[in-house]
Amino acid sequence: MTTETTSKSKAPPTVVPETEVFPADRRRPRMTGRVAFVTGGTRGIGAAITRSFAEQGAIVAAGYGRDTEHANELVAQLREHGVEASIHQGNVGSAEDCRRTVEEVLDQHGRLDILVNNAGITIDKTVLKMSDEDWYKVIAVNLSGAFFMSQSVLPHMIERGTGRIINISSIIGKIGNIGQANYAASKSGLFGLTKTLAREACFQLKKADKLSDDSIGITVNTVAPGFIATEMLEHVPEKVLDRIRSQIPMGRLGRPDEIARVVHFLASDYSSFITGAVFDVNGGQDM
């Protein structure tokens, strides 16, 4: 955002750091009263999505794995600015934890309108060096977690006749990458999961006689980011980052807020006729 003086000269741009919590008076309450649960919602892309929903007036529930201190800081910042927010600790790779955290959100907030399956991990090794555990752990968190979270929330959404599920995949799920067979497989698997869940959600709504001409229904979509400037790239050598940038037509890494904007659109009523779709946000890298 930039500001302009009344004279012909312009004031220097006012840059709001991505990690800064928005002032309360900047909130645009377009999702007032809706509850959004973001897994992995306290760091990187997940934190940007959480803040975006909060800015729109939503009640936010952020899932996290181990960093309790950081999660507490985020929720405290949001509450300072009048946002109703909660945090929920669990291992997304555990079906039991997925069901428990969904129940926690429903118990605490009374409803769940939006689920963003964002939590993900990497354990990078070439195929010949990858252990059984390396494979299963990444698949469990990145793919099975999205399935169990969605399975847990769908009955509530079907009962209410409305809901949004948004999966966060990756460009790696489309193009592959050396040393990331487990990650690529898990992120590619989200494409098939998304399309199947989208069809089943419509089928179940029709079965329950909850589809109508003016219904916003239940939609399930995927966002596939390219290389985004988050903590996951902090330890990547600059030479490698330069090579990545050279492969992106726009010549730069993406920003977490650029993913959050697409997620916000898919979570809104404006996307009511979009389901089973994959949105690429990668600076043109896979053209």
Structure tokens at 9: 């000269």
Region 19-23: mean pLDDT is 50
Q: pLDDT at position 213, please?
A: 83
pLDDT digit string, tens, across residues 68-123: 998 999 999 999 999 999 999 999 999 999 999 999 999 999 999 999 999 999 99
Q: pLDDT at position 62, please?
A: 97
- Listing DSSP states for 6-57 in one string gives SSSS-PPP----TTSPPPGGG---SSTT-EEEETTTTSHHHHHHHHHHHHTT
Instruction: Determine the residue type at 195.
Output: K
Q: pLDDT at position 231, please?
A: 80
Active-site residue flag, 64? no
- Contact between 28 and 95 under an 8 Å Cβ cutoff? The reply is no
H or E stretch covering 181:
helix 181-207
Q: pLDDT at position 21, please?
A: 54
CATH of 28-281, one of 1.10.1060.10, 2.40.50.100, 3.30.450.20, 3.40.50.720: 3.40.50.720
Tell whether pTM > 0.85: yes
29 pLDDT band, cuts 50/70/90, is low
H or E stretch covering 88:
strand 85-89
Q: pLDDT at position 13, please?
A: 39
Extract long-range pairs of 90-94: CB within 8 Å, 24+ residues apart: 90/63, 90/65, 91/65, 91/141, 92/39, 92/40, 92/63, 92/65, 92/119, 92/141, 92/145, 92/148, 92/149, 93/137, 93/140, 93/141, 93/144, 93/145, 94/140
- Contact between 44 and 119 under an 8 Å Cβ cutoff? The reply is no
Residue 247: other Cβ atoms inside 10 A: 14
Domain segments of the chain as ranges: 28-281
Q: pLDDT at position 18, please?
A: 46
Which position among 64, 136, 183, 270 bears the catalytic label?
Answer: 183
232 pLDDT band, cuts 50/70/90, is confident
Region 194-218: mean pLDDT is 93
Mean pLDDT of the chain, nearest integer: 90
Region 159-176: mean pLDDT is 97
Q: Quick one: angle between helices 145-160 and 95-109, nearest 10?
A: 30
